[in-house]
Structure 1
Amino acid sequence: MTTINDIAKLANVSRSTVSRHLNKNGYVSQEAQERIDKVIQETSYLPSQSAKSLRTKKTGVIGVILPKISTETASRVVDGINQMLQENDYQMLLTQTSLDKDKEIAFIKLLQSRNVDGVILLGTNTDEALVNEIQKADVPVVVLGQNMPSTTSISYPDYNATVEMITYMLENGYRDISFIGVPEDDPAVGILRKKAYIDTLKKYNLPILEERMAFGDFSIESGYDAMQTIMMHSSQPNAVFVVTDNMAVGAMQYLKENHYSIPKDIGMATTGVSRLSKYIEPVLTTIDFQNEDAGIAITRLLMEKLNGYNKTKKLTHTYRRLSGNSL
């Protein structure tokens, strides 16, 4: 196996010159750089990660904490994170909480014990214990998906995007709109999207009916069950807004099985663009939060912290409304 001493001998430079060139931490003449690079290319030399870690006190690994690995949102965010990490010569260590908010704190501690250089958390809550754990962490921690107090974070425009979609439904003639949401443990999806639904109906002087609201756990199956719960009441809606596309697929399946035509009998709108939603009929009318770009953006903020920028940043990610034919 080629060593750094072999590179120095073949390039006719000192070992320290090779080290300075590899670590970008000192002057090396252009001629020497070219000779070293030529030898590295010819020998396919790869520096030892463990040796590099000892020199730089960094492992080149970023911990990523997901609520659920299996969701479309998570996979797209991870694609964006991975793209940025590869561009910056980092590797990724994935963990998932299975929507258990206590595990968010546990995994921040665990990842630090594995000597990661930083942590990206796809957050599901903003409670004080989690904020305190992030603040006392020995490595930078950034949060995607929640507006986390005193923490560098990127949140989605959950309220504004939902208001826009409910307004769009109302402008298309729907007045009896039901709502399928998630528990309020999740401030962004659980609280803000529900609040936007209620506020928009109030603005149009429409009644808020509890029997037109049901809740799931982000899964397709829970969307199916929530739609069933809503349709069991005598006051049936002529449209439904679902807070995630995953649950919308389940809600749509229930309606189809029970011979409701979409959108002739019941219109449907949601948030999120999944691969599955593109292949169902009718195509869902939805909000695209551009999750891959969000993964890139949150990783960029972490890179800034790793490069010494320590000020807290709070950003709101962008979105766009896509018109399918489910309304």
Structure 2
Amino acid sequence: MLTIKEIADMANVSRTTVSRVLNDSGYVSIKARERVLKVIEETGYVPSQHAKSLRTKKSKVIGVVIPKLGTETSGRLVNGMNEVFSQYGYQILLTSSNLAPQKEIEYLSLLKSRQVDGIILTATNVSDQLIAGIRQLRMPFVAVGQNIPGVSNVVYDDLNAAKIMTRLLIERGRKNIAFIGVPESDQAVGVLRKQGFLDSMKEHCLNIRKEWIIESDFSISSGYSAMERIMERVVGGVIPDGVFCVTDRIAIGAIQHLKETGLKVPQQISITGIGASDLSKYVEPPLTTMDYENEKAGQEAAKILLAQIERNEDFQKTVILNGRLIRRDSL
């Protein structure tokens, strides 16, 4: 493998000139640059990334922590990030917490030890321990999905999205509306979407039945079980005529249970979700949902992180993304 000194000798320039051409930094005359580029082209020289990182103090690697591998949301987020990072010569080192909050904290330290230039975290919850772990990083950092104090964030307008989805049910004439959520340790999905549901119900002076507010996890099977529990709590023959589910997968499970019990969606019970998963358009009936455009979220996170890296500044910026309503037949 050729060295910078050999390239310099062949181009009849100094090693400093070759370095400036390779790193696109500092002044180099047009003729000298042309000679260096000609030698590089003729020899097929590829600079060592390790050597380059030692000179620039940049690894050109970004650490990314996602909740789970193989999910549509994570895939779209990472695709959006990669679209931006690849334009600037950065690569992604991907890790998955598998929905374990403690793993998120562990991976932050691990990625820093791998000398990544920055980290993007799709957090599952916001805890004091996580905030402390982020502060200890002292490096470019962006959180996606959860609003974490003291750092840059790319978040969705979960409160308003939940209000919209609940309002759709109300406008459809539904008055006895059930809610299937997730644990409130998840601030965005567990707290804000629940609050949006409650706010819409109160704004329209509708009765909130606490026995029909059920907590599940993010799986289709948990949505099925949650809908089953709601129906078991029906008293006096009054059944829900609408159900707001905080995710599409929960909604799909709820629809399946209703179909198996002979109840018709949407004729008897309308269902809405959030997420615009691929499955949401294939379930019968197709699900009314909110598309959060995760690719855009990934792109925004990447742009903020790159700005921190390139400017070498510890600034904070929050981007709030609005969803896109998709009306389908479950309403």
- Same fold by TM-score greater than 0.5: yes
Alignment-derived partner of residue 177 in structure 2: 177
Greater shift after overlay, 248-257 or 93-102?
Answer: 248-257
The amino acid that maps onto 1:278 is K
Structure 1's unaligned 5+ residue stretches are none
Alignment-derived partner of residue 24 in structure 1: 24
| Alignment partners' CA distance in 1, 2:161 and 2:210 | 22
SS, match of residue 179 in structure 1: strand
| Alignment partners' CA distance in 2, 1:207 and 1:44 | 73
Contact 2:126 2:185 in 1 (8 A): no
Is 1:311 equivalent to 2:315 in the alignment? yes
Q: How does 1:1-327 map to 2 (within 5 A)?
A: 1-234=1-234, 235-307=238-310, 308-327=312-331
Change (3 A) 1:254 1:40: farther
| Alignment partners' CA distance in 2, 1:98 and 1:280 | 26
Structure 2's unaligned 5+ residue stretches are none
Contact 1:181 1:243 in 2 (8 A): yes
SS, match of residue 17 in structure 1: helix
The amino acid that maps onto 1:84 is V
SS, match of residue 271 in structure 1: coil
Give how far 1:6 is off. 4.3
Contact 1:85 1:299 in 2 (8 A): yes
Give how far 1:12 is off. 3.9
Contact 1:157 1:317 in 2 (8 A): yes
Number of residue pairs matched? Answer: 327
Contact 1:112 1:138 in 2 (8 A): no
Deviations 1:146-173 (A, max 9, x none): 1111111122100011111211221121
| Alignment partners' CA distance in 2, 1:160 and 1:67 | 24
| Alignment partners' CA distance in 1, 2:126 and 2:109 | 17
Give how far 1:268 is off. 1.0
Give how far 1:25 is off. 2.2
Contact 1:180 1:243 in 2 (8 A): yes
Deviations 1:65-111 (A, max 9, x none): 11112322111111111111111211111111122212221111111
| Alignment partners' CA distance in 1, 2:175 and 2:40 | 68
Greater shift after overlay, 123-132 or 19-28?
Answer: 123-132
| Alignment partners' CA distance in 2, 1:9 and 1:283 | 67
Give how far 1:233 is off. 2.4
Provide the aligned C-alpha RMSD in A: 1.7
Q: Identity of paired residues, percent?
A: 47
Runs of 4+ in 1 over 6 A off after TM superposition: none
SS, match of residue 273 in structure 2: strand
Change (3 A) 1:10 1:263: farther
Normalised TM-score (structure 1)? 0.94
Normalised TM-score (structure 2)? 0.93
